[in-house]
A = this chain, B = another copy of it.
Amino acid sequence: MTIPYKQQMLPIEKVFRDPVHNYIHVQHQVILDLINSREVQRLRRIHQLGTSSFTFHGAEHTRFSHSLGVYEIARRICDIFERNFPIRKIGADGWDDSERLVVLCAALLHDIGHGAYSHTFEHIFQTNHEAITVDIITSPSTEVYQILNKIEEGFPEKVASVITKEYPNPQVVQMISSQIDADRMDYLLRDAYFTGTEYGTFDITRILRLVRPYKDGICFAINGMHAVEDYIVSRYQMYVQVYFHPSSRGMEVILQHLLNRAKELYPKNKDWFRQHSQLLVPFLEDDFQLIDYIRLDDGVLNTYFNHWLDATDPILNDLAKRFLNRKPLKSASFKPEVDAELIQILRNDVEKVGYNSKYYTAINSSFDLPYDFYRPKSNKHRTQIELQQKDGSLVELSLVSQLVAALAGQSQGDNRFYFPREMLHNQQQVNYDLFSATYESFLSHIHNGALQ
């Protein structure tokens, strides 16, 4: 008798050693097959934190290990739900464990559409990693699709609908995507571990003990309110201290300019780019297929930047060198109310000392909302975090936590103006030069690290 694929369990559980969760436990043949698929293995070549490793040199971890981590957290939640909250009747609060496989697959695959230097690349080549995630899951050409479809017809689409939040069971959706989901829990812990900072650590064992399924989603036992609050604060700290670090953004700006320069040069230099960056051509042509996207990874882009060191265009050449050799632009923060004219004056100064200000200055604004409650009128509303009282009723988190109330709905981050390090020349330097008046004028607009 053949066991249906979806029920095939590994005779001996397979484990992957993981520095964050100790072990990742794989029990289903399906999950093992997905991990071994080409599309998931590709994530080994996509860094989790993009240019952040230029600031935090330990942060060289990839989306592969993050994906395993999200899977593992989801698996642990399912275990706890199955043991403590098995559903008793339809409509009751509780967990129906037949949802487990769709959760595990969605958890493992939620980032499958991320590409080389994702966020920057998307912006410039008009790709969208969420749409591509759905594409990879539902395109018959991918190994991922073939595995999922073996489970049962329509299963790939079910998994994709979890990613798009259209899956009917809100518990499943919220486990993968909400303000306190398996994805965020893993990346905070993982990024904290690999950067070596401690801000992102929170008490995940305790959080997992507090999570409860109820009919409209997942919530947390109120006696653990402070553990949830601590998670929100950790998230906030990682944003302001790691993800928005000015130096990482100074490298990101270089990367943006470099790719933009390539795009600008391409029409008149097609052969050269084909020779030196073959897998990038479909994107420079703005005519790419899923398979083109899947072949890119961080190393491919870096290799082409390496090839571009031979370019005759001085800007392409110089930006490639700056990126490979880590020469970030420097920056000063500014308030939203800062005069556009001032920025223009500073750009002019940069031009005066010989830089093309289009490619050597930038405005970079990084903001995030550490937490928000549900705002019916907002166009991008969020699933708020609910706490469950002893009598079963729910309370929204910011109503009982002063700390969360202070952060709720408050974007965190800053605006920064980027410019070449050379602009920071100052009188203490011995060889004062031709442009001293310009440097002096430039510096006069910066005080305590901010534009004035």
**How many A residues touch the partner, as a band?**
35 or more
Interchain CA distance A68-B45 in the complex, whole Å: 23
Kindly state whether residue A426 has any CB partner on chain B within 8 Å: no
- The distance from the CB of A109 to the nearest CB of chain B, in whole angstroms, is 16
Kindly state whether residue A303 has any CB partner on chain B within 8 Å: yes
Bitwise interface map of A from 390 to 407 toward B, beta carbon under 8 Å scored 1, else 0:
110000000000110111
Kindly state whether residue A41 has any CB partner on chain B within 8 Å: yes
Q: Is the CB of A18 within 8 A of B57?
A: yes
Q: Is the CB of A324 within 8 A of B57?
A: no
- The distance from the CB of A144 to the nearest CB of chain B, in whole angstroms, is 12
Kindly state whether residue A374 has any CB partner on chain B within 8 Å: no
Bitwise interface map of A from 150 to 194 toward B, beta carbon under 8 Å scored 1, else 0:
000000000000000000000000000000000000000000011
Kindly state whether residue A272 has any CB partner on chain B within 8 Å: no
Q: Quick one: which of B58, B275, B406 contacts A19, CB cutoff 8 A? A: B58
Kindly state whether residue A44 has any CB partner on chain B within 8 Å: yes
- The distance from the CB of A244 to the nearest CB of chain B, in whole angstroms, is 11
Chain B residues contacting A312 (CB-CB under 8 Å) are none
- The distance from the CB of A52 to the nearest CB of chain B, in whole angstroms, is 11
Given A193-B19, A194-B19, A324-B41, A65:B61 Cβ within 8 A: no
Q: Is the CB of A23 within 8 A of B205?
A: yes
Q: Is the CB of B390 within 8 A of A448?
A: yes
Q: Quick one: which of B17, B57, B62 contacts A16, CB cutoff 8 A? A: B57
Q: Is the CB of B57 within 8 A of A60?
A: no
Q: Quick one: which of B16, B56, B295, B402 contacts A406, CB cutoff 8 A? A: B402
Kindly state whether residue A87 has any CB partner on chain B within 8 Å: no
Q: Is the CB of B53 within 8 A of A44?
A: yes
Residues 109-137 (chain A) with a chain B CB within 8 angstroms? none
Interchain CA distance A295-B449 in the complex, whole Å: 37
Bitwise interface map of A from 59 to 81 toward B, beta carbon under 8 Å scored 1, else 0:
01110110010000000000000
Q: Is the CB of B198 within 8 A of A302?
A: no
Kindly state whether residue A199 has any CB partner on chain B within 8 Å: yes
Residues 293-310 (chain A) with a chain B CB within 8 angstroms? 295, 297-300, 302-304, 306-307, 309
Interchain CA distance A203-B22 in the complex, whole Å: 10
Q: Is the CB of B197 within 8 A of A17?
A: yes
Interchain CA distance A41-B320 in the complex, whole Å: 13
Q: Is the CB of B196 within 8 A of A202?
A: no
Bitwise interface map of A from 1 to 29 toward B, beta carbon under 8 Å scored 1, else 0:
01000000000110111111011000000
Q: For residue A24, which residue of chain B has the nearest CB?
A: B57
Chain B residues contacting A196 (CB-CB under 8 Å) are 17-20, 22
Q: Quick one: which of B194, B201, B325, B391 contacts A201, CB cutoff 8 A? A: B201
Chain B residues contacting A448 (CB-CB under 8 Å) are 222, 389-391
| Partner-contacting stretch, out of A93-101, A235-243, A261-269, A281-289 | A235-243
- The distance from the CB of A232 to the nearest CB of chain B, in whole angstroms, is 10
Q: Quick one: which of B19, B65, B326 contacts A41, CB cutoff 8 A? A: B326
Interchain CA distance A302-B326 in the complex, whole Å: 21
Q: Is the CB of A306 within 8 A of B302?
A: no
- The distance from the CB of A82 to the nearest CB of chain B, in whole angstroms, is 13
Chain B residues contacting A307 (CB-CB under 8 Å) are 278-279
Kindly state whether residue A414 has any CB partner on chain B within 8 Å: no
Interchain CA distance A275-B230 in the complex, whole Å: 51
Kindly state whether residue A338 has any CB partner on chain B within 8 Å: no
Kindly state whether residue A441 has any CB partner on chain B within 8 Å: no
- The distance from the CB of A270 to the nearest CB of chain B, in whole angstroms, is 15
Q: A45-B302, A227-B241, A300-B302 are known contacts; what are 14 more A-B pairs with Cβ within 8 Å?
A: A13-B84, A17-B195, A18-B196, A22-B196, A41-B324, A44-B57, A45-B299, A60-B65, A278-B307, A279-B303, A295-B306, A297-B302, A391-B448, A402-B410
Q: Can you list 5 A-B contacts (CB < 8 A)?
A: A60-B61, A60-B62, A276-B278, A295-B306, A297-B306
